[in-house]
Amino acid sequence: MPVTDYLERNHKLYGDEVALVELNPLVKDKMKKTWKDYDLVQQTESRPYRREITWAVFDEKANRVANMLLSRGVKQGDRVAILMFNCLEWLPIYFGILKTGAIAVPFNFRFDAREIKYCADLAEVQVLLFGPEFIGRIESIEEELSKGRLLIYVGDGCPTFAESYQELVANCSSQPPLVLLEEEDDAAIYFSSGTTGFPKAILHNHESLMQAAQMEQKHHLTDRNDVFLCIPPLYHTGAKFHWMGSLCAGSKAVLLKGTTPEIILDAVSKEKCTIVWLLVPWAQEILEALDSGQLKLEDYELSQWRLMHIGAQPVPPSLIKHWLEYFPNHLYDTNYGLSESTGPGCVHLGIENVNKVGAIGIPGYRWKAKIVGPDDKEVEQGQVGELIVRGPGVMTCYYNDPQATAETLKNGWLYTGDMAMKDEDGFIFLVDRKKDVIISGGENIYPVQIENFLTSYDKVKDVAVIGLPDHRLGEITGAIISIKDGMECTEEEIEEFCKELPRYKRPKKIIFADVPRNATGKIEKPLLRKMYGAEHLVEMQNRG
């Protein structure tokens, strides 16, 4: 069955219950009001601080979107893109697209105009729905972008080059469109992070989306009483498919705009959230605020919060150990995945395996995983190889890129590009990205191992380890280190701390600077190599 069936079921069974809440604390900031009294303030902004919709309204809005698109000639298999920040309209639009049989194509809201045009062409998008934050970007490429494409603006004050979403859907039927969907039908295109250049377009079918929903619900035992706090962007598979556990269970979710520790804890407290998915930087900032006394747990109602889970990047074990000191009753899970595997969960730690923190875990619900060498044969336990996965959430292909598809999908297995090893209990440990491995003097050095070690130092807030060019060794290890606010640290301190590492793993160059991360929390290592690699080459040349 297609995942849209869950929405229609929830409409029938829980129609009057709240499905989605949108919180906009930044609206409060503009009004110079304290965030904690949001429910007492009369809104004067065009978008109120707190909005909500029931399951019935959610489904009816999706139906109006579907019928509007069908009336404009959208048909099964067409591509319809979404370029919007998280908001209450996002998911009804997404599900409306799915209900037409068209393919939903979420765009990264960080795309610049050139990337928007590139991805629209790559995915052969016929319709683009965009929000007010993107008027400037769309306008700068409107002449090229609008050729053969329908541009629909979602917001107040529609620009002249687009059509108004509100006007288009106003008179459309709220009844389900008469479109038959099958699991094998194409459903969505997601874009890779583009860490090696422009993004690839990743095509998934309805079976993939259904697998993601069912897996998330089973992994985290989501039930009708849970409230999921969704902070990351919905264009990304991680946020979307974690939320689909709530869709599967028929329970409420909260879309939060804002990532400061106070905003997150206040949302958990006021909305009675039980499940929260965090990125590593947000978890670190919450811990720092608690350590410094800036936040006090007794100021919030957090007793209902039962699960904190993290994904999208390697998680330092020291972070989770510290987290459980403040939240000893929390269940914890780490989720591993790629957009090519319908996001997180093809490998996950499991809430019962907190003793294995540091591992990414074991194969998820209905998934298989192996670690293979260059010959595609499974390596021995304890050896490093490439992690490959297989299951009903594997992508159909890279859209319009048969060569990349053939390199990544082999005999039904998805080659992740991540280097990993398995311990004696069968738990998988991520070692590093295949492309991020540093080869220094013939030794393979895996940056994640060094990053995990350095984050255990009490002054270190964040760290990225990269390879820097070296005439003699080929590469040396460079550590870009962000220090916690209010603290000072020297290279000598880091060098002394690193004496616990084998000599060949110790960073040869230490750089104190911010660590750039993308919207999903991944370290932007290509950017760091570009920034500091050239700088290091100049230093070597100056040294003669």
Per-residue pLDDT of the chain (544 residues; tens, 9 = 90+): 899 999 999 999 999 999 999 998 865 443 333 333 333 333 334 455 899 999 999 999 999 999 999 999 999 999 999 999 999 999 999 999 999 999 999 998 888 898 899 999 999 999 999 999 999 999 999 998 988 899 999 999 999 999 999 999 999 999 999 999 999 999 999 998 654 457 899 999 999 999 999 999 999 999 999 999 999 899 988 889 999 999 999 999 999 988 899 999 999 999 999 999 998 878 988 999 999 999 999 999 999 999 999 876 667 788 899 999 999 999 999 888 889 999 889 999 999 998 898 899 999 999 999 999 999 999 999 999 999 999 999 999 999 999 999 999 999 999 998 889 999 999 999 886 667 778 776 567 878 878 888 988 989 999 999 888 876 667 888 999 999 988 999 999 999 999 888 787 889 999 999 998 876 667 888 788 888 876 655 565 555 5
Asked whether residue 254 is assigned to any structural domain, the reply reads no
Count of structural domains, the chain: 1
Sequence-ordered alpha helix ranges (H) in 221-303: 237-249, 261-270, 280-292
**Is 523 part of any domain?**
yes
**Could you tell me if residue 446 is inside a domain?**
yes
Tokens found for residue 422 = 């398995």
In angstroms and rounded to an integer, the radius of gyration of the C-alpha atoms of the chain is 24
pLDDT at 313: 63
Distance CA 471, CA 459 (A): 32
Q: List C-alpha distances in Å: 398 to 182, 188, 408, 539.
A: 21, 12, 9, 41
DSSP codes of every residue in 156-176: SS--TTSEEHHHHHHTS--SP
Angle of helix 237-249 versus helix 206-220 axis, rounded to 10: 70
- CA–centroid distance for 353 within its chain: 23
Under 8 Å between Cβ of 481 and 463: yes
| Residue carrying the six token digits 């230490």 | 510
Q: What is the extent of the structural domain holding 494?
A: 438-543
The full length of the chain comes to 544
Q: Which residue do the tokens 């829980």 mark?
A: 14
Place of tokens 């069912």: 214
Per DSSP, the three-state class of 34 is: coil
Whole-angstrom Cα distance, residue 470 to residue 528?
A: 16
- The answer to whether residue 445 is domain-embedded is yes
Burial of 384: CB neighbours in 10 Å, binned 0-12, 13-18, 19+: middle
d(C-alpha 217, C-alpha 479), whole Å: 38
CATH code where residue 485 lies: 3.30.300.30
Q: Cα(121)–Cα(63) distance, rounded to whole angstroms?
A: 27
CA dist 69 and 529 (Å) reads 44
Q: Does residue 122 belong to any structural domain of this protein?
A: no
Residue type, 176: P
Q: CB under 8 Å to 356, separation ≥6 — which residues?
A: 349, 425, 427
Q: Which helix (H) or strand (E) holds 214?
A: helix 206-220
**Contact call for residues 273 and 301 (beta carbons, < 8 A):** no
pLDDT at residue number 196: 45
- Residue 490 domain-assigned (yes or no): yes
Judged on CB neighbours under 10 Å (0-12, 13-18, 19+), 136 is exposed
| Residue 276 belongs to a domain | no
Q: Report which residue type is found at 505.
A: K
- Taking CA atoms, 94 is separated from 4, 70, 83, 88, in Å, by 10, 14, 11, 11
3-state secondary structure 437-497: CEEECCEEECHHHHHHHHCCCCCEEEEEEEEEEECCCEEEEEEEEEECCCCCCCHHHHHHH
Report the pLDDT value the prediction gives residue 39, as an integer from 0 to 100.
34
Q: Is there a domain that residue 425 lies in?
A: no
The pLDDT of residue 229? 97
CA distance 66 to 5: 14
